[in-house]
Amino acid sequence: MKTICGIDCRECTHKDNCKGCVETNGHPLGGECVAARCYQSGGEKCFLQYKKEVLDEVNSLQIKDMPPVTTLFQLSGAYVNLEYTLPNGDKIKLLDDRKIYLGCQVEKINSDRCYGFVADNDYLLICEYGCNGAEPEIVMYKKR
C-alpha cells in the first residue's frame, strides 16, 4: 500500500480497516493523519519540524517522573483512545478512533506505570496508565 509519508504499513494492526493513505488523500481510516497533512503542505522538512515542535512542547512541561521523550510514532486513534473515568463516575474517550496522531509511551520513573501522550494539530493529551492501558488517568489535555 502506498503512503504519503513513506511509512511501512505491512505491520499495522489496522491495515484491514485502512482505505489507503494516497487513495484517501491522507485520511486512511476516515480521519485526518497529521503526518500526511505535513507532507502535503511542506514535505518531509515540514513533518520533521512538526515532530520537533511536539517533542519540545511535551518535554517543556517537565511532568514529574516523566523521562525526556526523544521519539514519536504515528498512532491510530483506535489504538490509543483510552476510556477515562471522570470524578462524577462518567466514562469518556477524548480521541477520534479514525485519526492518526503522533505520540509515544515512556515508562514512569520508579513506577510500574507508563506515561502516554498523543498530539495532533488541535490537542495534546498526556495520560498515565498501568499495564495494557489499565486504570488510565488524564494528566493533561490541552488545546495546542
What are the domain boundaries of the chain? 48-143
What value does the mean pLDDT take over residues 113-130? 97
What value does the mean pLDDT take over residues 73-102? 95
Q: How confident is the model over 3-40, as pLDDT tens digits?
A: 888 887 777 777 777 887 888 888 888 899 999 999 99
Distance of alpha carbon 106 from alpha carbon 127, whole angstroms = 11
What value does the mean pLDDT take over residues 97-124? 96
pLDDT band, residue 1 (cuts 50/70/90): low
Task: Identify residue 49 by its one-letter amino acid code.
Answer: Q
Averaged pLDDT of the chain: 92
pTM (2 d.p.): 0.89
Whose cell is 496508565? That residue is 129
User: Residue 61: CB partners within 8 Å, gap ≥ 6?
Assistant: 126, 140
